[in-house]
Structure 1
Amino acid sequence: MATTAQPPTTPNDYSSVTKTLDLLAPRWSVWVLMTLSSQPLRYAEIKPRLPWLADGQLHPRLRHLTNAGVVERTEYAPRHVTYGLTGRGAELLPVLAVIASWGDTYLEKQLVTSKATGELEPERIPPAQNIDDTITLIAPRHATPILMTLQARGRASAKALATEAMPGYGLTAVYKPLDRLVADGLVTVTGSDDFQLSASGQALAPVFQAITTWAVLPSAGTDPLRRPGTAPSKTRSGTWATTPTRLPAPAIPAASSAGPALATTPPPDGPAWKSSDLFSHQIPARPITPAGGPRR
């Protein structure tokens, strides 16, 4: 039987987490944020660190993050412009570390042959890719409210989830996102046809807590995604993809891995990343998931 206890989360919590995931979801946005994590950079300094992005892809990512208030564009002269993290952007880095840690722990990895030992071992995935793949699982529409509702309730029927996580929608609308979450290994079906989180779904609690805490910081003002004083860029022309495809990136030449480390301040248990972590790995396509585990 589904539990009926009043959940501690609210629609506002769902909205805050969803808005933050919408900010991070456009492909390569996380990579841009982490590239700027150490210091402000000019466009010509960012581009070599993300060599697979064409000019038409990098500019929209910078504009998207600037409009969201996590990146600021500083113009010193007509041909001297830098991009760097705002205060809100810097506060987002520990949240990214929590997301990366979950992805590294729970997303499936292919086995590769170790060059040192010749034995099979799980492939090494860069933190930015772990973040991207995790967000791809939890950012689709209605996924966050369903997952957070199940975290609060323990288990719930489809009808209860439709009522609480998707108000205004009919009962049948809840089955498509539920089926996807089950296929991704984040939700399981009980013997009484209720739904509950899998072990990996339950482990998302620190991720949602970190995102919620960041989104509702008092310094964020009335808009949970923008701190006062970090006005968006005056340039608002152009569009960017909000639901980009997840195609493999081209292989990165060895020389592209060079460069200063990307300093962050992740939680003690979170991963620390540097330029070699970000760029030494070719972005994998997401294989079909084995039954019972979240897919990459």
Structure 2
Amino acid sequence: MGNRVTKFEVCSIEVKKACPIETTLSILKGKWKGIIISILSEQAVRFNELKRLIPGITQRILTLQLKELEEDGIVNRDVEYTVPRKVEYSLTEQGKALFPVIEGMRNWGTRYLDSNIDLDLN
């Protein structure tokens, strides 16, 4: 999982209980990772198609986010050594298991935004 996940060996019981939450947040940390996981939950996608589906993301950031997700075991990078080379991204089993979390976050975010819009109107 790389060096991005904090170690909790010398922490209190409360922090150790929060460790799985912090691990999940660490893996999802990044502006575009939730969107990437959401897109890949529907089908395997080539890099340029993924970039096209996410307006505003740069090639550098997409590459970085995909690399981190691959290192964390969330995304699979399948390379076909043809001419031109074909690279396709898909979710691993761990990634598929993470999708309900992303959906839950989307639902919570929608409710939160809706409730704040109601507050702004009053």
Q: How does 1:224-263 map to 2 (within 5 A)?
A: none
Q: What does residue 60 of structure 1 align with? A: 64
Please report how far the alpha carbon of residue 11 of structure 1 lies from its aligned counterpart in structure 2 after TM superposition.
3.6
Separation in structure 2 between the aligned mates of residue 87 and residue 65 of structure 1, nearest angstrom = 13
- Structure 1 residue 27 corresponds to structure 2 residue 26: no
Separation in structure 2 between the aligned mates of residue 25 and residue 109 of structure 1, nearest angstrom = 24
Instruction: Tell me the SS of whatever aligns to 1:75.
Output: strand
Q: Which amino acid aligns with 2:99?
A: L
| Higher-Rg member (1/2) | 1
Q: 1:102 aligns with which of 108, 111, 115?
A: 108
Q: Which amino acid aligns with 1:61?
A: Q
Aligned CA RMSD, in angstroms, stands at: 2.2
Separation in structure 1 between the aligned mates of residue 35 and residue 112 of structure 2, nearest angstrom = 20
Summarize deviations over 1:68-110 as a string: whole Å, max 9, x none. Answer: 1010101111511110000010111111122222222234544
Separation in structure 2 between the aligned mates of residue 75 and residue 37 of structure 1, nearest angstrom = 19
- Structure 1 residue 84 corresponds to structure 2 residue 90: yes
Q: Which runs of 4+ in 1 moved over 6 A?
A: none
Unaligned 5+ segments in structure 1 are: 1-8, 111-121, 123-289, 291-296
Separation in structure 1 between the aligned mates of residue 99 and residue 21 of structure 2, nearest angstrom = 15
TM-score by length of 1: 0.33
- Structure 1 residue 18 corresponds to structure 2 residue 22: yes
Separation in structure 2 between the aligned mates of residue 40 and residue 13 of structure 1, nearest angstrom = 35
Separation in structure 2 between the aligned mates of residue 33 and residue 51 of structure 1, nearest angstrom = 15
Separation in structure 2 between the aligned mates of residue 12 and residue 38 of structure 1, nearest angstrom = 34
Aligned residues: 105
Separation in structure 1 between the aligned mates of residue 30 and residue 38 of structure 2, nearest angstrom = 14
Q: What does residue 48 of structure 1 align with? A: 52
Task: Give % identity.
Answer: 29
Separation in structure 2 between the aligned mates of residue 106 and residue 50 of structure 1, nearest angstrom = 23
Summarize deviations over 1:144-191 as a string: whole Å, max 9, x none. Answer: xxxxxxxxxxxxxxxxxxxxxxxxxxxxxxxxxxxxxxxxxxxxxxxx
Please report how far the alpha carbon of residue 67 of structure 1 lies from its aligned counterpart in structure 2 after TM superposition.
0.7
Unaligned 5+ segments in structure 2 are: 1-12
Q: Which amino acid aligns with 1:88?
A: Q
Summarize deviations over 1:259-286 as a string: whole Å, max 9, x none. Answer: xxxxxxxxxxxxxxxxxxxxxxxxxxxx
